[in-house]
Amino acid sequence: MNLAEVLAAALAAFLAAAPVAAYVLDALGLPLSPVVVLILSVAAAGAAVWHLRRTAVRGGADFAGWAAVVVSVFAGLLSLAWPTLLLPGRGPDLTHHLLLVDYIERAGHLVRDRSLDGAMGEMAHYTPGVHVLAVLAGAWTGTDGFRAFYPLLAAATALSAGFVYLIARRLLLPNSFAIAAALCLLLPRAYFVGAFTHDSFLAQAMAAFFCVASWWALIAWERRTYAMAAALFGLFVTAVFLTWPMWIGPPLLVFLVLLLRRHTTVRWRVQHLLIVTIPLGLIAALHVTGRFGWLLIARTSGAVVRPSLEVLGSMFPALSLVGIVQAIRAPRSYLTLGFLLAIVLQAITLWIAAENAGAETPYMALKMIYLAIYPLAVLVAFGLHASIPRVSPAAPALGWAAVAMLVITAGLPALTAATTAPVVSADLYAAGRWMRANVGASCADYLVADADTAYWLHLAVLGNPRSSARTAEVDRYDPNAEVGRWVAGQGRGYAVADLGRLPDEVRGRVAVLAQFGSAAVIRRPGAGACEAP
């Protein structure tokens, strides 16, 4: 194990231990303490370093390659949302995730009241891993979960690319081809970056990181079956469950197959099985109890990107087939092939479940593609390298040529792709929080340019219930009609407004109660006190 792997494992352990520790503390009835969770997370990272350091080698080239991948991807993702660094996605999923972040931040604990369905919908029962991580990251950085969410996901996604690099190196690929494997993730950009920059699959994006980390831990465990690797795998799959439990199947299935294949004692098998399953089993039992009905979400329908040449391009699928064919002949790639096969098997199972339930779209089955791109990226690089004659003097140059080609064809387009303005805003967020604290949440109109922005303000910032007549009105929000009501003097007493949306005939006759940059809380003449619904 090289220095880069030790550092990557420590960072992953830190991020995985945080939601696990927070969940356990909450189950004990204790408040969410960022300081306590930070201490426990640092301890988990320190334990990983302490145990792995004994087998670590310097590996300067590996560390440089890993650091280059992680830093480049992280910087690129930050540039996509610069300068606000706010979540750039849209749609109801964005609001629903931020609604849970807001609840945890205000309550100081996870959702304990099982009767909050009317106020929060499915988020009252959602696994809160990424949400509590966002809250903790906000507390640790002196901001809040709303502002910390995107940098957190950017860091996790960059570390996922770093693990892809490390896995490629464990398959004995040269440094250049391992870097190419990480860059291959940018070819299916809609599934790699678009998961959270466009589709707002925020929990899924974080779960991808924990799942890739668990895949790396499996490879490390298979090569040298020490207990620390099993413990890391157990921690990572527990974090997968707490973040997006739909993806826990593939790593667990591969682990069980490897465990049964080991020619060792029953005692050893039981020991490592318990190391992995005890924390996962306890957390799963705590969360699933009383929520069995929500397991039917696996058969649900929904909007999701469908695979096509337009989305994937022609290069990634073609090179993936080459890589799979080449990997079948190389035993060292079997675990990665097994991980991909497990993903395919779960996708087929979910597809059949959706078909039997009459779902219009096999939503969860199609979401498995977001995970499949990671082993496919490694196999693409493996296939490229295996296609070069071993004795070819041009092999090193071809590896770096592949890196240069991927930077040009995938990296630069990803960084220069046109991005839409975020539907969330720091100014509107501040105005909405002021409105909630000083006026009330139930009597606000939203004079903003986008229906998604109004929905976010109404639920995630002002904290109104999802099941209400007013929320149904916001679901039908029309920006022009809303401004028209205020022009005609027919709006509610108060509004959270984007000042750029206010016509002069409105701005001239309303009182600005508080202004935050380009956003303000305004009051219509004669408006009374805001009464609770």
198-238 pLDDT tens trace: 889 999 999 999 999 999 999 999 887 678 899 999 999 99
Residue with tokens 């693409």: 380
The packing angle between helices 145-170 and 3-27, to 10°, is: 140
Task: Assess contact for 328 and 337: CB atoms under 8 A.
Answer: yes
For residue 348, give the H/E element and its range: helix 334-356
Measuring CA to CA, which residue among 205, 210, 235, 22 is closest to residue 111? 22
432: which 2 tokens? 């909405």
Reduced DSSP (H G I as helix, E B as strand, rest coil) percent helix, strand, coil of the chain, to 5: 70, 5, 25
The CA distance from 166 to 394, in Å, is 24
80: which 2 tokens? 């996509």
Q: How many Å from the N-terminal Cα to the C-terminal Cα in the chain?
A: 60
The CA distance from 504 to 73, in Å, is 45
Where residue 412 falls among pLDDT bands split at 50, 70, 90? Answer: confident
110: which 2 tokens? 């996870």
Share of the chain above pLDDT 90, in %: 67
Using DSSP, state whether 526 is helix, strand or coil: coil
CA 452 to chain centre: 20
Range in 340-344, 355-359, 520-524 the model is least confident about:
355-359
Q: How many CA atoms lie within 13 A of 515 on its CB side?
A: 8
Share of the chain above pLDDT 70, in %: 94
Residues 6 or more apart from 490 whose CB is under 8 A from it? none
pLDDT higher than threshold 80 for residue 187: yes
- Which residues, in sequence order, are bridge partners of residue 516? 519
Provide mean pLDDT across the span 496-513. 92
- Which residues, in sequence order, are bridge partners of residue 310? none
488: which 2 tokens? 């005609």
Provide mean pLDDT across the span 110-122. 85
What pTM did the predictor assign?
0.94
Q: How far is CA 436 from CA 370, 455, 457, 486, in A?
A: 37, 15, 10, 21
pLDDT higher than threshold 70 for residue 104: yes
Other CB atoms within 10 A of residue 508 CB? 8
The CA distance from 340 to 323, in Å, is 12
Provide mean pLDDT across the span 479-487. 92
Q: What angle do CA 196, 197, 199 make, to 5 degrees?
A: 60
Task: Assess contact for 321 and 337: CB atoms under 8 A.
Answer: no
Pairing label, strands 511-516, 519-523: antiparallel
Using DSSP, state whether 492 is helix, strand or coil: coil
Average pLDDT score over the chain: 90
The CA distance from 387 to 330, in Å, is 12
Between 163 and 528, name the one with better pLDDT.
Answer: 163
The CA distance from 442 to 444, in Å, is 6
pLDDT of residue 264: 78
pLDDT of residue 298: 59
Task: Assess contact for 19 and 210: CB atoms under 8 A.
Answer: no
Where residue 481 falls among pLDDT bands split at 50, 70, 90? Answer: very high
Residues 6 or more apart from 488 whose CB is under 8 A from it? none
